[in-house]
Structures are given as C-alpha cells and as structure tokens.
Amino acid sequence: MRPPATLLLVLALSLPAGARADSQARHAGGATEVTRADLSFASFAEDWIARARARGEQASRAPRAHPSSAGLVFSYRAVDPEFETELRPTGRPTSPYVGVLHYQEHTYTCSDVRGSRCAATSSLPLTEVFRYRDGRWGY
C-alpha cells in the first residue's frame, strides 16, 4: 500500500499540466510544507523526465555504432514516459526531504545508422534520489 504522499503525487501527475498548476496555486496559500514539497517534486520530476526523453529522442536520430559478430550494430537509450515518485522525510532541518524517482530506461538496437528500423532489446529499472534544500530540488 502506498503512503498518502505518494498517492498525492500519482494523482498530481495524472492531471494535465495546466490543471496541476491550478491545483498548486489553490493549495499554496494553506498548504503544509509536505504538500508544497510533494507538488514541487512532482513538477520537478516531470521536467526531469521530459529532459531525459528529449536526450533519448536526439540519440535516436544518431545511434552509436558498436562492433558485433555480424558487423556493426547501432543502438541508443531512451527513457520511458511513465514514472513514479515518492517523498521521504529525512529528519534533517537543512534538507527535510528526499524525492525518489522511479522509471525505466530502454536500449534500442537498430539495423542502420539512421535509426529507421529499431527495436527495444533491453529495459533497466532506474531510481534517482534528489534532495530538497532551501525550497529547491537538487541532484
């Protein structure tokens, strides 16, 4: 069973970006520090995943060559758009929370250098941990 903070993040992430911003604005006045940190991390994680996906899209246009027994193989890595977040208290006043981001990274193998015929050949579950300090999230 998920803790309530994680459920809030999942619900917040399921809203369209505009609705999430409206929700943040409505809750900002009377929100507790935990709620502000939850919403802040949800937004931070969404941006982080978007940047990682953009890097994957760029890599798909120019896969890297690797030697194999059949000649050259071309591959790239990309991040899945689905992710989960959780917020954990640290008990430290200077950095009261860590945000945990769970997502999948896929490796695609292509038959040509243009990346026109590619297939996912492996997936790797990844976890990133970010700290909340002075109202900001950092790696």
Predicted TM-score (pTM) of this structure? 0.71
Q: What is the pLDDT of residue 31?
A: 52
How many Cα atoms occupy the beta-carbon half-sphere of 15 within 13 Å? 16
How many Cα atoms occupy the beta-carbon half-sphere of 133 within 13 Å? 7
Determine the Cα–Cα distance for residues 32 and 107; give it in Å rounded to an integer. Answer: 40
Determine the Cα–Cα distance for residues 20 and 38; give it in Å rounded to an integer. Answer: 12
Per-residue confidence in pLDDT tens, the chain, 139 aa: 334 343 334 434 443 343 344 344 434 443 577 788 899 999 999 999 999 999 999 999 889 998 888 788 899 999 999 999 999 999 999 999 999 999 999 999 998 887 778 999 999 999 999 999 988 999 8
Residue 63 is classified by DSSP as: P
